[in-house]
Every structure is written in C-alpha cells, then in structure tokens.
Structure 1
Amino acid sequence: MPILDREEYIEQFYFFQTLRDRIKASIATQDVLERIDQEILATTKLPMAIQFLATEIKESGLLSTGFKILSHYFTPFQSFIIKSTEDENRKFSIDTGLHVLEKMAKYLADSPLPSGLFVFQFEILSRNKLGYEEGITAMANDPLYTQEWRDFILFVSKQIGLVEFAEFVYLRSEYYLEVERKQDPSYEPPLQPLFASKEGRIAKANLGRDPFFLFAALQRQLNYPEVPRSTEKETPKDEIMVVRQRVNDLEIRLKLIEAEVKGNVDLSLFAKPAILENLPKSDGFAD
C-alpha cells in the first residue's frame, strides 16, 4: 500500500482518539462506528473505511476483521494492534491499543522518520509483550519503510535474544561510521547507515543497559514518539505469565547461541568483525 496523504493521518488521529474516548464512556464500539463517519473530513477516504468497519463488526463481532480486509488503507501493523486487543491471551486493552494507534497517526502526520517509527513500533511490542514474530513482520510491511529498512527489520526479528537493541541501532548508525573512520579513513561499511549520528551516540551510551532506557533517551533528546503505558494493574496470574515468557525468551536465546556456534547466524551483516570484539562483555556478542 502507498503512504497516505497527511490529511488522512490527521483524521485517523481524531478517529482513534474519539473512538477511545467514547468507548471509555461506555458507548458500544458499533454505535460509535455508525455515527462517527459524519465527523470525519469528507475529502478523505476514512469515512468510507469507517462505514465498512461498522458493517463488518456487525457480521463478525470483531474490529480487526475490517482492518485486515482494508489492507489498502490500514497498515498491517495497525491491524496487528487491533487484533492484539481482541486476543484473550494478551493483556492488551482496546483503550491501550487505540491510544497506540492515535499516537502513531499523530507522528505520521508530522514529517515522520523511518527510524522514529521503527523504535516506536518496537517499543510497543516490547512494553506490551505482544510477541516479536508476528509483530515485526507487520512492521516490515509499513509503507514508510524502504526495502533497505525492511531487510533490516526482518534481520532484527531473527536476532532478538542474541543481540541487544542498542547494538542494532549503534552498528547501523552514522556515528559508528564516524568512529571507524577515525581509525581507518578509507573504511566503508558493508551496509549503509540507517540511523543518524545522534541516534548512534545515544545507542552506544546505552549498550548493556535496559532497552527501555534507550527508548526514553531517544524520546527526551530527539523527540521520538512516546509509547502509551497501560494503566491496568498486574495480578499474580499475570506475574506468572511474565515469568513463563522470560523462560521462553531464555530458551530462544539458547537456541540462537547454538545456531551461532554452528555458524548459522551471520553477525557480520551488522558491520566489520572488529566491532564485535570491542563491545562490552555484558552484551550478546561476548565470547
């Protein structure tokens, strides 16, 4: 699908914000959808999309079905977010989901950068435990990303658990290139940088730290979009699920390390091997 006009994202922002507010006011989603299209700018395609959503939710009872069918208008990641709110196995409310879409639409309406959208979407998956495989695949199909970005995003999906997020950013940044060229002026990276120098500098400062510190620093320093926080309190059952998820993450990490030992993981795609030797021992590259 192509990138939409700015006015579409402005109206999407209003739509997601208003839908969220009215659902919080105990108005049924179907009732909101049947009326809200009249409030949307008629020169956009959103009113027709809302009318279709209203019809589809009557038939299927699900909002995500309409989002998926309207793949020429709503992105795969938007559909994934709505689908996640309907998954009983995930503690991801419709309020949080719509708030995420509201924030994302606002960012897309205001000179968005692929780097900003990537970090925003990745933090959404991490903070809300939505799962990386399906979520990152949906991310990669966003029209804002070039093929180079898509290749990088899919590469990230295969290395999660082995490589920390700050390394992904640092090794594909202009700052990493600057550091290498101080030692070797003729150095040329195997892959061109995707992140600017400031992002790379911040990422390097956060190597070995909780990735949420990096997300917060990028938001403070570079005005990256802030991810909405869930207001729901965790129960003992939720804590058990978190522990199970961490065990699963450890199992995935062990499998990835085994693959690395067998030579099936190509970390050289990040940069020249020398950088792998100079990173802190606390990171996934250490021997």
Structure 2
Amino acid sequence: MANVALDRTEYVEQAFLYKLLRERLADQMPMQELLEQARYELLATTKLPMAIDYLLTELKHSGLMAPAMYKLGHYFTAFQSYLVAQAEADVGRFTMGAALQILESEANFRIAGGTPQGMFMFQFEVLCRNRLNYDKGLTAISGDPIFDTAWTKWILMLRAQIGLVDFANLLLLASEEYRDRLLAAEESIENKGPFLFGAREGVIAIGNRGKDPLFLFAAMQRHLGYPPVPRPKPRNDNPDVIPALMRRVERLESRIKLMEEERRGGIDITKFYAKGQGRIPELDP
C-alpha cells in the first residue's frame, strides 16, 4: 500500500517510542519486552499501539521487526523499515541504537514541519555516514510521502549517477540557482531540471564542488535546519574498554602460574605474605 503522510500526533508518538526504546535498549533488555512495556505508555488514540501489536507478533515468530514494518507500508515509511532491516542484519556495523536515534531525529523533524529539501539531505547523509547501500537506500527514500512525483523521479535517477558525478554538481543542476543562470544567459530550460532546491542550496553546492562531501552536508545542515545526523561511533580496540573481562583473564593467569609452580615441586606461600607478616618475632634479627 502506498505510503501517505500521517497526522502530526502519530509522529509525536513515534518520536517518543524511538527515544524510549533507545534509552532502555542500553540496559540490554530484549526488544520484545521493550515493545510490550512501551505499548502501554503510548497514546491509545493513535495507531501506533496497533502497529506495535503487529510488530510483536512478527518479533515472536521470526525474531525480526523489519518484515512487519515493510508490511505496514501505510504507517511506516520504506526508509524507516530499511534502517531497522539494516540494524537487524547479521552483517555490517549499523546498530539498532543508531537506527533508533536516526528515526527519533527524523520524526522530530517531521513534527517541526520539515521540508522536502531538508528531509532528503538528512536521509541521504544517513546513508553516506553509515555506509549503507545507495541503491536500496535511495529507493527507500523515494517512497517517502514528503516527496512528490518530481522528487521521486529525481531521487530514483540519482541512483545511477551517484559515485560517477560529484554530488555537489548534481545538487547544482537541480537548483533554482542553475535555472536562473540559464535564464540570465538566455538559454532554454527545456528538458533541464527539475529545479527542486532553492537558489541558496545551489550557491552552497557551487562553493563545495570538488571538496569532501562532509563539508557540503555540514553547510546544508546549517542552512536547511535539518537535525544533525548521528555520527557512527568509532570502534575502540583498546582492551581496557572491557575491564571486567580483563580482570577475569588476570585471575586465570594467576591460577595457571600457581598450577605450574605446584607441578614443579610445590608452592612458596611466603611470597603471598604481606610485609612484616608471617615471621617469628624472636628469630628476627
């Protein structure tokens, strides 16, 4: 079923749900228990509690939520379902915590009256920063109800050009700044466009051609006002991040040393005495 824009109340409850799950997921609670608890904290007059019931049924049968979200295409957007599917995948480093944080930010942007320009840049930046599949990701983005037919066609066209053409140039060609330049040069704008971005975004794209796309994203985020995309946390290979495990390893090493000493002829227990203990006072010099 085609996705349609929901009432603002639904997005308010969605943002609350994603925040609730993200915070409680840090306590290592199973997602099934979290959803069962959260269901009773949501506004009963919205459709979200019914959607959660369906998610719980799928979660109990397959252990996954994404298949149920795809089936509820009239409620969850394809991009929301795609993020959850990537977080539930066995491969990759995209976590459920990151997905929930992104979904929360996206829902809050909709509540604030987010624009198609800002929503596209936010969702596309999510794909880039988390190294998600461009083809599947852009296809999911194109089905968002915030985009009209012109936006959908342009996003789907973008799939074939991303990686081959500088993204800043692609934005410029789809901006009113490019249209104004063509008109000023008395050139035809037929078969050009669509001009989906404003002149301001076109100027930003010109200033970031040939640069790291992250600079373009940062500038767009400042001027379009969409939420900052959560940054993936770098992997920390330092073993000190798991001190409890390290203490267990140290205790095991100590036990192994004791066993080796016992096999060699006994254990000298005097080395375990604290300083000044275990001596016979009258024999001390």
Could you say whether these structures have the same fold, taking a TM-score greater than 0.5 normalized by the shorter chain as the test? yes
Matches within 5 A, 1:120-139: 120-139=122-141
Q: Is the 8 A contact 1:3 1:144 kept in 2?
A: yes
**1:234 and 1:68, CA in 2 relative to 1: closer, same or farther beyond 3 A?**
farther
Q: Is the 8 A contact 2:114 2:226 kept in 1?
A: no
The unaligned stretches of length 5 or more in structure 1 are 236-287
Q: Is the 8 A contact 2:15 2:108 kept in 1?
A: yes
Q: Is the 8 A contact 2:118 2:224 kept in 1?
A: no
Note the C-alpha offset of 1:196: 0.8
CA–CA distance in 2 between the matches of 1:67 and 1:126? 23
CA–CA distance in 2 between the matches of 1:88 and 1:27? 19
1:177 is aligned to 2:179: yes
The corresponding residue for 1:101 is 103
The corresponding residue for 2:14 is 12
The corresponding residue for 1:53 is 55
What's the secondary structure of 2:40's corresponding residue? helix
Residue 11 of structure 1 aligns to which amino acid in structure 2?
A: E
Q: Deviation per CA, 1:1-43: give whole Å up to 9, x if none.
A: 2111111111100100100110112221110111211111122
CA–CA distance in 1 between the matches of 2:147 and 2:131? 23
Residue 80 of structure 2 aligns to which amino acid in structure 1?
A: Q
The corresponding residue for 2:275 is none
Note the C-alpha offset of 1:232: 4.1
Correspondence for 1:81 among 80, 83, 89: 83
The corresponding residue for 1:208 is 210
Which ranges of 4 or more aligned residues in structure 1 deviate by more than 3 Å? none
CA–CA distance in 2 between the matches of 1:66 and 1:11? 19
The corresponding residue for 1:23 is 25
Q: Deviation per CA, 1:155-199: give whole Å up to 9, x if none.
A: 100111211111111111111112222222x64352331001111
**1:64 and 1:232, CA in 2 relative to 1: closer, same or farther beyond 3 A?**
farther
Q: Is the 8 A contact 2:4 2:145 kept in 1?
A: yes
CA–CA distance in 1 between the matches of 2:74 and 2:146? 14
1:164 is aligned to 2:174: no
CA–CA distance in 1 between the matches of 2:120 and 2:141? 8
The corresponding residue for 1:193 is 195
Question: Scaled by the length of structure 2, what TM-score is found?
Answer: 0.79
Matches within 5 A, 1:134-149: 134-149=136-151
Residue 33 of structure 2 aligns to which amino acid in structure 1?
A: D
Q: Is the 8 A contact 1:173 1:200 kept in 2?
A: yes
- The alignment covers a number of residue pairs equal to 235
The corresponding residue for 2:227 is 225
Q: Is the 8 A contact 1:177 1:189 kept in 2?
A: no
Q: Deviation per CA, 1:207-236: give whole Å up to 9, x if none.
A: 11111111100112331221111224166x
What's the secondary structure of 1:130's corresponding residue? coil
What's the secondary structure of 1:106's corresponding residue? helix
Q: Is the 8 A contact 2:12 2:107 kept in 1?
A: yes
Residue 188 of structure 1 aligns to which amino acid in structure 2?
A: I
The corresponding residue for 1:249 is none
The corresponding residue for 1:62 is 64
Structure of higher CA gyration radius: 2
CA–CA distance in 2 between the matches of 1:234 and 1:168? 36
Residue 193 of structure 1 aligns to which amino acid in structure 2?
A: F
Note the C-alpha offset of 1:105: 0.7
CA–CA distance in 2 between the matches of 1:172 and 1:124? 21
Question: Scaled by the length of structure 1, what TM-score is found?
Answer: 0.78
CA–CA distance in 2 between the matches of 1:145 and 1:56? 29
What's the secondary structure of 1:194's corresponding residue? coil
The corresponding residue for 2:278 is none
